[in-house]
Structure 1
Amino acid sequence: MRSLPLLIALALAAPALAQNDGDGPPPRFGGPVELHEDDIPAFPEPPADIVTVRDDVPHGTLEMIAYESETVGTTRHMQVYTPPGYSTDRAYPVLYLLHGIGGDETEWQRFATVDVLLDNLIADGEAEPMIVVMPNGRAQPNDRAKGDVFASAPAFAVFEGDLLNDVIPATEARYSVAADREHRALAGLSMGGGQSLNFGLGHLDTFAWIGAFSSAPNTEPPAELVPDPEAAADQLELLFLSCGTEDGLFGISQGVHAYLAEHDVPHVWHVDGNGHDPTHWRNSLYHFAQLLFK
């Protein structure tokens, strides 16, 4: 755990990372955004109604689950979406979805109404029925996002153990899942995006599908994320990166993309016109979910 460099980077990025409610001017970090010719959208803008509740489609279930964390030494909570018609007669793939530094296990639902988004995609045949697990990535006894949220930055690194040793086993014990790497995805926004790259690419024996939306400065340098590009290319089913041109953290995702492109690691690089905000994260999840488990 490289906690001191991480804390320094987060302190510098604090104004940008603190803006996770979509209000105010676009955040800036590390200088102005410099676009290259390949920094372009991979997808069109989603329809305006992607999180509109539709009465004509089946609805999944959203529930808050308690689990015992040996890593943290406490009872912790995660929000879980099960798709419409969930049944123990089949084994489902699982997306583990991580929040940002100012959030908790409820953030994704507040920003993207994940249950509505997935209900609609599944009903339209655009996404596979999947379970979505939204844990708390702040792995410490008091995991509430209160006070100086940057003081808890090291706990986001500790979450690697909680995810692998506690969250995943608890999920697989409670739900009917396909418990192999080909049926596990890991994705997140901002701090959770960095976690997804760090943990996902560091454990390709566990995750075959990885997504990072406007990753924060906790993201490891690209050469450390992917020290063996050929092996990563062979193991990955999908590596998805996204960021908005009005996001001051743009250079982090852009740098990872450039390294992957240089070393021939297949990936999706999606650039839109948003900032470090819920619109980008919701839209990225919309695109990412349609690519999973196919």
Structure 2
Amino acid sequence: MKMPFENIKQLTDFKQCAGEINISVFKSENRSWLPYFVYLPPNWSLEKNYPLVLFFHGQGGDEGTFNKYVNAEQLNEWILKGEIDPVVIAGVRGDNDRDNVQWFTEENEALFVGENDGEFIRYCQNKFKAGIKNENISIEGHSRGAAGAINYFLKYPNRFSSIVGMGYVSDYTLKANILLGKENLESLKQGKTPLLLEIGSEDSFVRNKQRRASFEIHQFLEEVAVDHSFEVLHGVEHGFDTFWNYYTDEGVINGLAHLKFHEKARKSNNV
């Protein structure tokens, strides 16, 4: 079936999609037809349950952003070599107006934290057997996607297994996010959801526009004693690809380090 926009084909059978990143659409009650991408691991089967990593793209991005910078063969290799367990990675287009995407709008919240887990999460559970429990759902957000990921961390403590925010420079969201942190402080202090914040040392929004969101949310969380990790990545610019392809001090590609971070959190929560 061809949709009336951008010639995106609606996939209904994913049996031949294991080990690939595919783009499709689903019918959303809150946002009409909604484009999304999904990565299914090698040997994916409806007979098994899988953890789910949600990817929130930044301003100007869409359902193709992840696939633009991440190669399915890279993910396949990590899984087949046993470096990480099989995982499903998926994400939707945040808004048809890519310049105004906000992940915390009422329509988007209904996709991820609405009634009965959220509409897109239910879709992933039914279609891909992914994210069956909250303990198996993580969020990976970049730029405005990081602003959204942090919003869900602060507004819905313990709803997700783990959260990574890369390149959080959306200073206009700071006031609201700090208010959420204060409102939910006790739950956040007792929470089991690890948060990892990363900012690049060469981020143009920080260097040229004095955006301080990453540093200020880190300072706030430190002051109120909410456990989290904060890293400045040397040489990294603002683009998602520079975060994903950065090599950690341990010599590991950062994308793999993130997936290991999510996996460690899942296994800790499921003990």
Normalised to the residue count of structure 1, the TM-score between the two structures is: 0.69
1:70 to 6, 29, 42: 29
The match for 1:213 among 154, 161, 166 is 166
The residue number in structure 1 matching 2:248 is none
In the alignment, which residue of structure 1 is the partner of 2:126? 173
**Separation in structure 1 between the aligned mates of residue 162 and residue 82 of structure 2, nearest angstrom:** 20
Shift of 1:205: 4.7
- State whether structure 2 residue 129 is matched by structure 1 residue 161: no
Aligned counterpart, 1:266: 227
- What letter is aligned with 2:197? L
Deviations 1:98-155 (A, max 9, x none): 1111110001111233x234223223333221100121111xxxx164xxx2xx3457
**Structure 1 residues 97-106 or 84-93, which shifts more?**
84-93
Letter in 2 for 1:69: S
Q: Secondary structure at the match of 1:133?
A: strand
Secondary structure class of the residue paired with 1:88: coil
Distance 1:103 1:156 in 2: 16
Give the distance between the partners of 2:228 and 2:37, measured in 1 at CA.
28
- Tell whether 2:98 aligns with 1:128: no
Counterparts of 1:198 and 1:277, CA distance in 2 = 21
SS in 2 for 1:237: coil
How many residues are matched? Answer: 225
Q: 1:270 to 1:122 in 2, by over 3 A?
A: farther
Aligned CA distance change for structure 1 residues 117 and 226 (closer, same or farther; 3 Å): farther
- Counterpart residue number, 1:24: none
> Which amino acid in structure 1 is aligned with residue 227 of structure 2?
P
Supply the distance in 1 between the matched residues of 2:68 and 2:159 (Cα, whole angstroms): 28
Match of 2:194 among 235, 238, 241: 238
Within-5 A mapping of 1:17-36: none
Q: Secondary structure at the match of 2:154?
A: helix
In the superposition, relative to structure 1, how do residues 208 and 233 fare at CA in structure 2: closer, same or farther (>3 Å)? farther
- In structure 2, runs of 5+ residues without a counterpart are 1-17, 246-253, 265-271
Listed one character per residue, the Cα deviations across residues 209-265 of structure 1 (whole Å, up to 9, x for unaligned) are: 111100131544352242234422432332110010111246211111122222222
Contact 1:127–1:291, Cα closer than 8 Å, also in 2:
no
Decide whether the 8 Å contact of 1:96 with 1:185 is kept in 2: yes
Superposition map of 1:102-141 within 5 A: 102-113=60-71, 115-138=72-95
Paired residue secondary structure (2:84): coil
| Structure-2 separation of matches of 1:280 and 1:163 | 27
Q: Check conservation: 1:197, 1:219, Cα contact below 8 A.
A: no
Is the aligned partner of 1:279 residue 2:241?
yes
Could you say which structure has the greater relative contact order, defined with CA pairs below 8 angstroms and 6 or more residues apart?
1
1:251 corresponding residue in structure 2: 212
RMSD: 2.3
So what's the TM-score if we normalise by structure 2? 0.74
* Structure 1: runs of 5+ lacking an equivalent: 1-58
Report sequence identity in percent. 23
Q: What code does the residue aligned with 1:291 have?
A: F
Counterparts in 2 of 1:153 and 1:64: CA distance versus 1, 3 Å: closer
Contact 2:169 2:212 in 1 (8 A): no
Q: Does 1:99 align with 2:69?
A: no
